[in-house]
């Protein structure tokens, strides 16, 4: 569809939120609590934060929750019965006030969960997902969306993208049929646009590196001393992967009692020492530098190669969450400069 | 700071140590760990109020151990962690030089770990005051209120294990949470699994925690889990009269049996 632009004021925006919530949608919106801003299900309109730069966690939870029930099993005397979960019953979720980096990340998740195996539960959740994005008028030193082909006002992935104006109103770009149906159903809340220009209010995010050059350097950079030197500080936790909007590695766990139980898909991280431990006892990624290399290689070499996208949207969450200052932007800037020995 | 840099440089130049672990200026105004092999790079070393990480966590890291003899910049919590690691046979005293930092930020002269023990013996130990204030508040609650407080906090945990990774005492090659034959505790990050994990972590650190608070600082979700191990540090002291990280000899409250213990069993 051809995108349309309208205007909505803050009072009407709150009304839109409450009306979508009242209609039975599960709303996922950022709230300031525990000294940080993070997404929660169904807060009231008054609780929603519009002033934060970035939430601690991404919105991948909506389609790839930290624990997903895959099926249940019940043991009889001689057989085990599998009880499938009815994925058609997943609720419609509306991600409210997600920044453009988060909205854009869904296309990367779509590619991963449909790459060699079409993931039924992921797709069931994704089909019911609506993304109401919010352009960034503020950024911090960890943000680098413009270095990975995105920007503070990118429309990619949003059904409606809002941009806050200085006068307290919002530009609403209605981008998809889904977005249009929401706008049409609530037409009285929107007013006509007067040609307001969102570029004037967007945050200025400097371009720090060329991701093409990083990807090129990584091709021959597997044995580069960079990895050892830049990962000595890494303590091998999973904070970076868990807050990342694109990291999708998972672990399968069975939980059962007396033969009855359920199979679960839980988040996992390539930073963990046991991530690639083989049954034989051999671990191809024996030390942390190899695990850290995997994280950056996957995002900036393997994924561009295999799925034709960069596995990073420049949200900066991993840098903010890291307890030991493994700053991904600093490292990517260095990776752009490393000397790669000619073959 | 100049004394620290000078001392570190001397140690590297004389080849007394192979590596110095200290703090440097990180990104965005943060201080972070630095690993220095070249004496000419000791100018990077800093020490100020931002230097909060317990650097002893690196002493058991494979790549770091590989360097050989290490000098470590050590405010009190690091000194104490070094002693715990020595007492638990994770570190050989001859492989470590402690670059002690006094409470006023000055460099202390520690020719041996015995001198470190003597220094610590003179310092009143306990939890940092702001943390102890919250612990006292929690202890004043009813058991139901306390359970509700912790259930609300721990439910948010997504099991990134930053708490475990940040702790110098969590050095097990295979953590209990990763044992699945049998599965001792639930691996998924649901409320029960989270409660089990944090209880287990707390119990394993009882009598071994030096109250550095790094587990809580590491938590990306701001869950105050350091209060659990800190509470247990006090509990162990009151019950057994020992504090972790005061001696090179193994004297851990929950894993050392003495004939005159009040109990006739060990955990």
**Closest chain B C-alpha to A124 CA, distance in angstroms:** 22
Range name among A111-115, B22-26, B73-77 with the lowest pLDDT average: A111-115
Average model confidence (pLDDT) for chain B? 94
Q: Where are the domains of chain A?
A: 4-200, 211-337
Which residue does chain B place closest to A252, by CA atoms? B188
Give the pLDDT band of residue B267 (cuts 50, 70, 90): low
Which tokens in the block code for residue A65?
A: 């929750």
Q: Which of A53, A237, A276 to mutate to test the interface with B (most CBs of B within 10 A)?
A: A237
| pLDDT tens digits, one per residue of B100-142 | 999 999 999 999 999 999 999 999 999 999 999 999 999 999 9
Average pLDDT over residues B182-193: 91
Pair (B84, B137) in one structural domain = no
CB contact under 8 A, B63 and A289: yes
Higher pLDDT, A292 or B173: A292
* ipTM confidence: 0.94
CATH of the domain at B176: 1.10.1060
Question: Which chain B residue lies closest to A233 (C-alpha atoms)?
Answer: B33
Nearest CA in chain B to A290: B63
Residue B250 has pLDDT above 90, yes or no: no
Asked, for residue B230, whether it belongs to a domain, the answer is yes
Looking at the fold, whether B67 and B87 belong to one and the same domain comes out as yes
* Proportion of chain A in helix, strand, coil states, percent, rounded to 5: 35, 20, 45
A54 and chain B: CB distance < 8 Å anywhere? no
B117 and B134 co-located in one domain: no
Q: Do A237 and B166 touch (CB under 8 A)?
A: yes
pLDDT at B100: 97
Identify whether B173 is part of a domain: yes
Statement to judge: residues B90 and B154 lie in one domain: no
Structural contact between residues A203 and A152, judged by C-beta atoms closer than 8 angstroms:
yes
Does the distance separating the beta carbons of A319 and B165 come in below 8 Å? no
Q: What is the pTM of this model?
A: 0.95
Q: How confident is the model at residue A1 (pLDDT cuts 50, 70, 90)?
A: confident
Best B220, B222, B224 member to test A by mutation, with max A CBs in 10 Å, is B220
Give CA–CA dist B73/B63, Å, rounded.
18
User: Do B92 and B51 share a structural domain?
Assistant: yes
pLDDT confidence band for B266 (50 / 70 / 90)? low
Of B101, B121, B141, the position where a domain reaches its end is B121
Q: Mean per-residue pLDDT for A97-124?
A: 96
Q: pLDDT tier at A342 (50, 70, 90 boundaries)?
A: low
State the residue range of the domain holding B157: 129-240
For CA atoms B119, B121, B122, B124, the dihedral sign is positive
Domain count, chain B: 2
Residues B68 and B26 in one domain: yes
Question: Do B133 and B179 share a structural domain?
Answer: yes
The dihedral sign for the CA sequence B112, B113, B117, B123:
positive
B222 → chain A, closest CA residue: A34
User: pLDDT exceeding 90 applies to what percent of chain A?
Assistant: 92
* Together in a domain, B108 and B178: no
Q: Residue A255 is nearest to which of B32, B186, B220, comparing CB atoms? A: B186
Mean pLDDT (chain A, rounded):
95
């Amino acid at each position: 569809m051809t995108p349309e632009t309208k205007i909505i004021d803050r009072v009407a925006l709150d009304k839109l939120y409450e009306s979508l919530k009242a209609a039975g949608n599960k709303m996922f919106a950022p709230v300031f609590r525990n000294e940080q801003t993070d997404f929660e299900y169904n807060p009231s309109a008054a609780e929603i934060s519009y002033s934060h730069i970035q939430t601690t966690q991404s919105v991948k939870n909506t389609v790839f929750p930290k624990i997903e029930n895959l099926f249940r099993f019940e043991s009889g005397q001689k057989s085990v019965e599998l009880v499938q979960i009815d994925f058609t019953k997943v609720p419609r979720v509306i991600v409210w006030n997600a920044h453009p980096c988060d909205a854009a990340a869904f296309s990367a998740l779509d590619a991963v969960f449909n790459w060699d195996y079409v993931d039924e539960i992921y797709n069931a959740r994704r089909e019911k997902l609506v993304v109401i994005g919010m352009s960034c008028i503020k950024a911090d030193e960890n943000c680098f969306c413009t270095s990975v082909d995105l920007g503070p006002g990118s429309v990619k992935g949003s059904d409606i993208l809002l941009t806050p104006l200085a006068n307290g109103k919002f530009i609403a770009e209605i981008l998809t049929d889904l977005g249009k149906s929401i706008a049409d159903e609530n037409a009285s809340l929107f007013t006509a646009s007067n040609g307001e220009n969102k570029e004037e209010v967007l945050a200025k995010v400097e371009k720090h590196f060329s991701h093409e050059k990083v990807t090129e350097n990584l091709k021959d950079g597997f044995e580069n001393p960079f990895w050892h030197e830049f990962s000595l500080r890494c303590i091998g936790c999973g904070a970076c992967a868990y807050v990342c909007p694109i990291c999708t590695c998972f672990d399968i766990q069975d939980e059962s009692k007396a033969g009855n139980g359920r199979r679960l898909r839980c988040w996992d991280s390539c930073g963990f020492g046991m991530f690639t431990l083989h049954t034989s006892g051999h671990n191809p990624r024996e030390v942390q530098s190899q695990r850290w290399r995997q994280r950056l290689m996957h995002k900036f070499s393997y994924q561009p190669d295999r799925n034709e996208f960069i596995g990073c949207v420049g949200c900066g969450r991993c840098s903010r969450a890291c307890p030991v200052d493994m700053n991904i932007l600093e490292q990517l800037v260095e990776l752009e400069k490393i000397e790669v020995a000619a073959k | 700071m100049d004394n620290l840099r000078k001392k570190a440089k001397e140690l590297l130049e004389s080849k007394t140590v192979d590596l110095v672990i200290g703090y440097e200026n990180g990104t965005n105004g943060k201080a972070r760990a630095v690993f220095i092999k070249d004496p000419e790079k000791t100018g990077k070393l800093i020490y100020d109020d931002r230097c909060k990480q317990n650097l002893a966590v690196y002493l058991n890291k494979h790549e770091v151990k590989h360097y050989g003899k290490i000098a470590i910049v050590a405010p009190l919590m690091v000194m104490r962690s070094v002693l715990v690691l020595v007492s638990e046979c994770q570190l050989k005293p001859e492989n470590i030089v402690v670059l002690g930092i006094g409470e006023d930020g000055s460099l202390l002269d520690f020719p041996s770990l015995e001198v470190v023990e003597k220094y610590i013996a003179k310092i009143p130990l306990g939890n940092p005051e702001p943390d102890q204030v919250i612990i006292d508040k929690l202890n004043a609650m009813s058991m139901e209120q306390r359970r509700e407080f912790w259930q609300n906090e721990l439910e948010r945990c997504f099991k990134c294990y930053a708490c475990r990774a940040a702790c110098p005492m969590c050095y097990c090659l295979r953590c209990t949470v990763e044992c699945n034959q049998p599965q001792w505790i639930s691996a998924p990050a649901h409320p029960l699994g989270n409660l089990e994990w944090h209880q287990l972590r707390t119990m394993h650190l009882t009598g071994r925690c030096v109250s550095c608070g790094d587990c809580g600082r590491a938590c990306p979700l701001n869950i105050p889990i350091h209060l659990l191990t800190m509470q247990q540090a006090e509990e162990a002291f009151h019950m057994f009269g020992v504090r972790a990280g005061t001696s090179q000899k193994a004297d851990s409250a929950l894993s050392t049996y003495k004939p005159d213990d009040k109990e006739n069993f060990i955990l």
